[in-house]
Amino acid sequence: MERLAAEEPIPKWERLGSRSASPRMERLDAEEPILILDEDTLFQHSLNECNGPLYTHQMNVGQVSQGEARRGEARRGGAGRGHCYPYFRRLDIPLPDPLPVLARAVAGCSNHNSVGETAARETLEQVMADALLKSASTRSAVQAVCLSVSGVNHPTDQHRILNWLREIFPSHVRLFVQNDAVAALASGTMGRLHGCVLIAGTGTIAYGFTEDGREARAAGAGPILGDWGSGYGIAAQALTAVIRAHDGRGPQTSLTHSILHKLNLFSPDELIGWTYADPSWARIADLVPVVVSSAEAGDLVANKILHDAVQELGSSVKAVVQRLDLCGEDGKDHFPLVMVGGVLEANKRWDIGNEVMNCISKDFPGALPIRPKVEPAVGAALLAWNFLMRECHHEPFTS
């Protein structure tokens, strides 16, 4: 791998390899990587046959050789780290903790609704190429790909992305495309599609699955169509409150001073120019910590914004649970509720996630909150692995 790093950079499509692996990669042909992609992160497993059990490597910057993998050793390289863990094909064998990563690559937004189809495709192509290059592997060695991306809201979205993936990967590669919320759910249930996930970051969505494969979603339509309770929704309401207080339509609020100080502005009038100079969703959502701090300091307007957000997020979960009957006839059946996103992270006193859980528990006491210990990209990895294994065993994907 060090030898490869010293060679000339590989063009993007050569990085993805060809249907017959290039000579420089022949020594890796015996490996069976599983390539898994989340919206922003690529998560790749390299599975080596070792008399039954399979071995996977985790690598950020450091490298791990096949020999080290078999011995269970890791070699550090610079600030990076490499680890090696056993990984079994049998579905009843517990997964290693932490789960192994061979290569990791990060790119920008891949939501075609936000950046357009061409830019989204280029982003996904680049991040897959980068990850394969880092792992010194080729697309011909890949066994399965799971793309879990925001903007997949309809079967036509899935079919379009699947057709594009078929142009890139050989015919033996199993391809799966899901909404990013599905990977977030899997990150909390270790790949099992059952229960409900609530994502509240820049945007928000609630998504659920039953054990027999039925699914439902609520929210997730973007800020224009009302992703209230999201980071964008909270911050946008705070900006609106400042403008309303400034022109006399609303009560005075400490949000005015706090937001102006955060943005290095002097007057609420300047907020108009700041907002429309770059009205990107994430840029607005970055103001959520200011709203939380103001609420914790006792500001009534900020507190109302957060209380309204809690009700909106709770309503999204309740809508999914009721449509899928996850709670059973008496409303007390247990089901996992995976909670993901920066808005739901605990704060000093104003814990939005805890307040949402309290709101939901009043109606569905069987909801079991789960804060995933792994990122959604790992959930996509688990989905790809489970999909692939169940195809081999001719089992339903959802069981």
- Which range has highest mean pLDDT (14-28, 115-129, 350-364)? 350-364
Nearest Cα to Cα of residue 57 among 84, 38, 34: 84
**CA gap 9, 27 in Å, rounded:** 19
Q: Report helix, strand or coil for 8.
A: coil
Select the more confidently predicted residue: 222 or 100. Answer: 222
Q: What is the CA radius of gyration of the chain?
A: 23
Residue type for 240, please? T
Q: What is the mean pLDDT of the chain?
A: 75
Instruction: Give the residue among 153, 135, 315 at the shortest CA–CA distance from 233.
Output: 315
What is the secondary structure of 328-348 as a DSSP string?
-TTS---EEEEEESGGGS--S
What is the model's pLDDT at position 396?
53
Burial pattern 237-250, b for ≥16 Cβ within 10 A else e, equals: bbbebbbbbbeeee
> Rounded CA gap, 213 and 232, in Å?
31
Collapsed DSSP state (helix, strand, coil) of residue 242: helix
Six-digit token pair at 232?
A: 């964008």
Over the stretch 86-104, which tens digit does the pLDDT of each residue have? 233 344 556 666 666 777 7
Q: Is 10 left (phi over 0), alpha (psi -120 to 50) or beta?
A: beta
Is the full-model pTM beyond 0.75?
A: no
pLDDT value, residue 77: 28
Look at 340 and 94; give whichever has higher pLDDT: 340
pLDDT tier, 121 (very low <50, low <70, confident <90, very high otherwise): confident
% residues pLDDT > 70 (the chain): 72
Residue with tokens 């080729």: 138
pLDDT (0 to 100) of residue 330: 81
3-class state of residue 44 by DSSP: strand
Return d(Cα 106, Cα 43) in angstroms, integer. Answer: 10
Confidence at residue 293, expressed as pLDDT on a 0 to 100 scale: 95
DSSP designation for 33: E
Q: Which ranges constitute the DSSP H helices of 62-154? A: 66-71, 112-115, 117-134
**What is the rounded (10 degree) CA torsion for 274, 110, 107, 129?**
-160
For residue 333, give every residue at least 6 positions away whose Cβ sits within 8 Å of its Cβ, in sequence order, or none: 326, 327, 366
Distances (CA, A) of 257 to 127, 238, 288: 41, 12, 15
Tell me what pLDDT residue 151 has. 75
**Is the CB of residue 113 less than 8 Å from the CB of residue 133?**
no
Residue carrying structure tokens 């900006």: 239
Q: What is the mean pLDDT of residues 147-169?
A: 84
**Dihedral pair phi/psi, residue 223, rounded to 5°:** -65, -30
Tokens 């993901």: give the residue: 340
Query: What confidence score (pLDDT) does residue 62 get?
Result: 23
User: What's the rounded Cα separation, in Å, for the pair 354 and 314?
Assistant: 11
Structure tokens at 353: 């996630």
pLDDT at position 336 over 60? yes
Strand partners, 219: 205
| Four-residue CA torsion sign, 371, 373, 376, 379 | negative
